């Protein structure tokens, strides 16, 4: 909760300076506040039934933020993102319906079948919302939104809010090892999928989105192996440095006349040396360079995985 509030406050201040040259800056800031409120609802509300309010708020407000520039690319990206999130909401509602059915009537099914089905729908919900393969294409496409919203999506929404919620219901999922094995394979493939796609990508923001996707796969791997505390530690580290990375990239894009081509990054060192230096610090932390914070989270997860059954 503290991480969400710290990152959200800094990004709202950053948004005021970033979006002021455009039209309707206060409209954008109000939408950003509603976005943060939806994140807090997802985290704070302990009831899974009322958590759907936070999910719906995130889906609806993110659509309006993605289409903020009102061009063809942003509108297509917003509609595609909204449809994928609606699919995740359908899985969520089916899971709630099965839970109510299980609580009311045990006569037609054994006690195992509804619970296993509920866990499968819960995993599908989080795979859809957290862009795990095969539901991952919407994440790079959603980069049509302004850069402050991209920073919020990749630090507070995807990483802190959604993955924190699945930790809360981990006791419900660990009863079924096959479900966790399938989730482990999906996280592993997502990490490799994002890594290979980033080799040919030249867009600044899509590169960072694919980096987030790779770390999401890594965090899902740790969750599937039962490393909850290490996974949560890496989650917080990733949230802090990925939001910093997005804000620095936004500064460079502004100084490069809104060009998002990474081949012009050498010019960024001339115009924005401080931002490029800060990007270097964020990158070496996310890479896991020894003696930095990213090293302690990633290395501990990999060492513990090598002694587990998933090795």
Report field, pTM of the whole predicted structure over 0.95: no
Q: Which domain holds residue 210?
A: 2-306
In 3D, which of 287, 164, 155 has the Cα closest to residue 229?
Answer: 164
Nearest residue to 5 via CA among 158, 231, 156, 162: 156
Q: Is residue 189 domain-resident?
A: yes
* Residues 27, 31, 36: CA angle, nearest 5 degrees: 150
Q: Respond yes or no on whether the N-terminal peptide bond of residue 169 is cis (omega within 30° of 0).
A: no
What is the structure's pLDDT at 109?
44
Helix axes 204-224, 228-255, angle to 10 degrees: 180
Query: Strand pairing partners for 261?
Result: 203
CA angle 208, 251, 205 (to 5 degrees): 20
Give the side-chain half-sphere CA count within 13 A for 140: 19
The confidence score (pLDDT) of residue 160 equals 61
CA distances from 201 to 185, 188, 207, 249, 250 (A): 24, 21, 6, 16, 18
311 located within any domain: no
Give the span between the Cα atoms of 17 and 277, in whole angstroms: 21
First CA to last CA distance, the chain: 33
Q: 165: closest CA among 50, 60, 283, 79?
A: 50
Per-residue pLDDT of the chain (311 residues; tens, 9 = 90+): 677 777 778 878 887 777 777 767 778 788 888 888 877 777 777 776 677 777 777 778 878 888 887 777 778 877 887 888 788 778 877 777 777 766 554 444 444 444 677 777 777 877 777 777 887 777 777 777 777 777 777 666 655 666 666 777 777 777 777 878 888 888 888 888 888 888 888 888 888 888 888 888 888 888 888 777 887 788 778 778 888 888 888 888 877 777 777 777 776 677 778 888 888 888 888 787 887 777 888 888 888 888 877 67
Q: Please indicate, yes or no, if residue 232 is contained in any of the structural domains.
A: yes
Distances in Å between the Cα of 307 and the Cα atoms of 26, 183, 223, 294, 303 are 52, 19, 15, 21, 7
Please tell me the total count of domains within the chain: 1
């Amino acid at each position: 909760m503290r991480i969400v509030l710290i990152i959200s406050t800094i990004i709202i201040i950053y948004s005021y300076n970033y979006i002021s040259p455009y039209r309707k800056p206060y409209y954008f800031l109000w939408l950003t506040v509603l976005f943060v409120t939806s994140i807090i609802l997802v985290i704070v509300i302990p009831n899974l039934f009322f958590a759907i309010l936070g999910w719906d708020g995130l889906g609806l407000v993110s659509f309006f933020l993605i289409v903020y520039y009102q061009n063809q690319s942003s509108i297509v990206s917003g509609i595609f993102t909204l449809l994928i999130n609606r699919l995740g909401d359908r899985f969520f509602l089916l899971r709630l319906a099965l839970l109510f059915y299980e609580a009311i009537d045990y006569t037609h099914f054994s006690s195992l079948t509804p619970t296993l089905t509920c866990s499968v729908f819960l995993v599908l919900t989080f795979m859809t919302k957290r862009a795990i393969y095969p539901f991952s294409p919407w994440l790079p496409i959603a980069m049509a939104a302004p850069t402050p919203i991209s920073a919020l999506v990749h630090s507070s929404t995807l990483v802190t809010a959604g993955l924190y919620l699945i930790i809360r219901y981990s006791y419900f999922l660990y009863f079924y090892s096959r479900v966790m094995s399938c989730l482990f394979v999906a996280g592993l493939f997502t990490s490799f999928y994002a890594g290979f796609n980033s080799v040919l990508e030249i867009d600044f923001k899509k590169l960072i989105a694919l980096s987030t996707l790779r770390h999401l796969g890594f965090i899902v791997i740790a969750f599937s192996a039962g490393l909850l505390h290490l996974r949560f530690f890496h989650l917080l580290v990733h949230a802090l440095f990925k939001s910093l990375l997005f804000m620095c990239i936004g500064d460079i894009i502004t100084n490069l006349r809104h060009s998002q081509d990474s081949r012009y990054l050498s010019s960024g060192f001339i115009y924005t040396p401080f931002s490029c230096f800060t990007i270097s610090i964020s990158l070496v932390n996310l890479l896991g360079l020894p003696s930095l914070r990213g090293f302690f989270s990633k290395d501990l997860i990999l060492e513990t995985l090598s002694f587990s059954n998933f090795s």
